[in-house]
Structure 1
């Protein structure tokens, strides 16, 4: 009799936890995208949100909160209730922001909990076809001979694209004229028009231009080739293994979000990313699937933070 009473008591004690787990999510989920509509993050997040809705049983409502290099959206997410009903997808470039910005209104490692990495979108060096270079080695040789003749289209100071170029310039000993733009679109347009010679682009954004021959790929800023464009060599293959930078998308929630909510989100994400139709859609858009555990995601964010700590001071980039 005592054993039966103990069992009943144990089950009763477990019920609140189980009930909480089953109750999540209890209402629509807000997904903050810290960029304006229509960019690469939208291309990943919108089809992903549809698969998550099917698995979580609640709508995933996207809210674009662009501005201040994603800091507006990050601050909004950090200040949200930590109940699992507010998510944010950003690139792990945010991990280097403490080294880049003098003032931030949030702390990535204090105010957020990682759920999973989602996908990678490689960055690629692309040149106007009028440039007489068929490879990265050819282009490096051109710039070394006539450094004042060649130019780089910088879409935004401190962006992954800019930092990827700076890594190459440091390793290859390049000095080029930098033309600054407000965003990747204008930068790409001027490279296509031949006003500027070199750009660093998101692979998914320029694959059509590569296929049409209006832009020539030199190398992916990646340690391995991409399934989305397997013919393009990597900077490592070209002799620059430390010139690595890509857009790696990570799902975050506010710190103190209940573990059962994080577990539910992670399980739904694993199922969503295993969907063959979604995988094919993302591959066509230039993404490589990259799913991790919450612990692995946290470790990768810290490694990214540590990787840039000794690099950024040498680049002399510091933003308000």
Structure 2
């Protein structure tokens, strides 16, 4: 299965160490690199980006300075990144969900394939449907029955309209015939905090962000939105096991640079990323946080982004989602 195969780390094609590099590649980076995360602090993107950025600092000789620019379903951060100078000193990490935004928005301030150069995928994280333990439902089937009975009594914490979390829940709502009140937040961190506090009831979260809360009993997990159970949390059943095999979605994180970034810098970023993600210590840290490492060439990353855009083209019209 093509999408499933993307979760396997791809072999990195690294240039020989002795090969001569252009002068620009030898001098870059000359200052700290700005790393835009188009989400508020505290979500799964931070969990992934911070340890990766530290390894990149050691390999590149300059720090990656993280700048959280949440809001607008990541479009604010994407527009900022699209306008930065293409000199290798500004990068952004987003999920490949951004590839389907042309199906959702009539007016975007950027074009993913025109304004950005894909560097590499970094990792994937399953999405988990989970609730505050006060919700009187032990299984996903119980949740479906509860929402059918009392659709106006329970609130879904939507981290961002059009996000993978939101679309995963909308897939479930379509397949199970549900409707539910939704409260919108500016990212996974604030949405998770509200569910933990009991102010809202149910959410769809990255496994990396919620696994510690699930293990501590602060959240009840109902299902991962994928065909197979996650190795990081094998006790959580899948949506397929609950009778909803079409409810499949995940977060796949991709590193992007502004279009026009010199090819030799993109190649060096890719090589350093592949080396970092091959380190056993980092792979173990990310696995414990609920991530599956996935890297690959810039060309492979671009192809996967185009596949994601094509995958959702026949699905989104049935969800009746237009966001502007």
Q: Same fold (TM over 0.5)?
A: yes
Residue of structure 1 equivalent to 2:222: 218
Secondary structure of 1:153's partner?
strand
Secondary structure of 2:62's partner?
coil
Secondary structure of 1:22's partner?
helix
The equivalences for 1:183-194 within 5 A come to 183-185=187-189, 187-192=191-196, 194=198
- On the 8 A contact 2:120/2:254 being kept in 1, the answer is yes
Tell me how far apart the structure 2 counterparts of residues 254 and 120 of structure 1 sit (CA, whole Å): 22
Q: Please state how far the C-alpha of 1:277 moved relative to its aligned partner.
A: 1.9
- On the 8 A contact 1:227/1:288 being kept in 2, the answer is no
Tell me how far apart the structure 2 counterparts of residues 155 and 37 of structure 1 sit (CA, whole Å): 13
Residue of structure 2 equivalent to 1:9: none
- On the 8 A contact 1:152/1:198 being kept in 2, the answer is yes
Q: Please state how far the C-alpha of 1:183 moved relative to its aligned partner.
A: 4.4
TM-score by length of 1: 0.85
Residue of structure 2 equivalent to 1:293: 297
Residue of structure 2 equivalent to 1:200: 204
Residue of structure 2 equivalent to 1:104: 108
Unaligned runs of 5+ in 1: 1-14
Give RMSD over aligned pairs: 2.5
- Greater Rg by CA: 1
- Structure 2 CA distance for partners of 1:58 and 1:217, relative to 1, 3 Å: same
The equivalences for 1:37-56 within 5 A come to 37-56=41-60
1:231 matched to 2:231: no
Unaligned runs of 5+ in 2: 1-18
Residue of structure 2 equivalent to 1:71: 75
The equivalences for 1:247-286 within 5 A come to 247-286=251-290
Higher helix share goes to which structure? 1
The equivalences for 1:21-36 within 5 A come to 21-36=25-40
Secondary structure of 2:209's partner?
helix
- Structure 2 CA distance for partners of 1:185 and 1:21, relative to 1, 3 Å: closer
Tell me how far apart the structure 2 counterparts of residues 190 and 60 of structure 1 sit (CA, whole Å): 30
Tell me how far apart the structure 1 counterparts of residues 163 and 297 of structure 2 sit (CA, whole Å): 26
Provide, for residues 169-201 of structure 1, a one-character-per-residue CA deviation record: whole Å limited to 9, x for no partner: 111222333344454455445544555443212
Tell me how far apart the structure 2 counterparts of residues 256 and 180 of structure 1 sit (CA, whole Å): 35
How many residue pairs get matched?
306
TM-score by length of 2: 0.84
- On the 8 A contact 2:43/2:189 being kept in 1, the answer is no
Secondary structure of 1:165's partner?
helix
Secondary structure of 1:157's partner?
coil
Residue of structure 2 equivalent to 1:157: 161
- Structure 2 CA distance for partners of 1:19 and 1:186, relative to 1, 3 Å: closer
Residue of structure 1 equivalent to 2:129: 125
Tell me how far apart the structure 2 counterparts of residues 107 and 167 of structure 1 sit (CA, whole Å): 26
Tell me how far apart the structure 2 counterparts of residues 186 and 60 of structure 1 sit (CA, whole Å): 24
Secondary structure of 2:67's partner?
strand
- On the 8 A contact 2:71/2:187 being kept in 1, the answer is no
Report the more deviating stretch, 175-184 or 94-103.
175-184
- Structure 2 CA distance for partners of 1:186 and 1:295, relative to 1, 3 Å: closer
Tell me how far apart the structure 2 counterparts of residues 255 and 77 of structure 1 sit (CA, whole Å): 10
Tell me how far apart the structure 2 counterparts of residues 181 and 75 of structure 1 sit (CA, whole Å): 20
Q: Please state how far the C-alpha of 1:164 moved relative to its aligned partner.
A: 0.8
1:134 matched to 2:162: no
